Amino acid sequence: MPEFLGRLRNRGHRLIARWGEEILLETSGNQKTWSSISGWEQRQWQRALESCQKSKPQTSLTGNVISWNLGPLHLSAALPYIAQTMQKGAAVVLLQEVLIRKGTTVKVRRELRQMFPMYECYIAAGSHVDVGNDENDRTLAEEYARSKAQITLVTFLHKQVFQTNALARTWYKPRDMSALEHMAQGRVLWLEVKTHDNVSISIVHVHQATAKRHDLQRQVTCLLRAMIDAALTQWRIMGSDFNATLSRYEYAQSTSQWGKQTYYRPAKG
What would the DSSP string read from start to end of 192-236?
EEEBTT--EEEEEEEEPPPTT-HHHHHHHHHHHHHHHHTTTTSEE
Q: Which of 105-114, 205-214, 238-247 has the lowest mean pLDDT?
A: 238-247
CA-to-CA separations, 53 to 62, 80, 90, in angstroms, rounded: 9, 35, 19
Say yes or no to pLDDT of 158 above 90: yes
More confident call, 198 vs 11: 198
Cα distances (Å, whole numbers) of residue 218 to 100, 104, 127, 221: 28, 31, 20, 5
Using the predicted structure, report yes or no on whether residue 222 has a pLDDT greater than 90. no
Would you list the domain boundaries of the chain?
2-55, 65-259
- Contact (CB, 8 A) for 74 and 99: yes
Q: How many residues does the chain have?
A: 269
For the entire predicted model, the pTM comes to: 0.64
| Torsion sign over Cα 178, 261, 242, 206 | negative
Task: Please state, as a whole number, how many other Cβ atoms lie within 10 Å of the Cβ of residue 258.
Answer: 17
Task: Return d(Cα 28, Cα 35) in angstroms, integer.
Answer: 18
Query: CATH second-level architecture of 65-259?
Result: 4-Layer Sandwich (3.60)
Q: Among 104-108, 176-180, 235-239, where is mean pLDDT lowest? A: 176-180
- How many of the other CB atoms lie within 10 Å of CB of 95? 26
pLDDT in tens, 1-14: 677 777 776 666 66
What confidence category does residue 132 fall into, taking pLDDT thresholds of 50, 70 and 90? very low
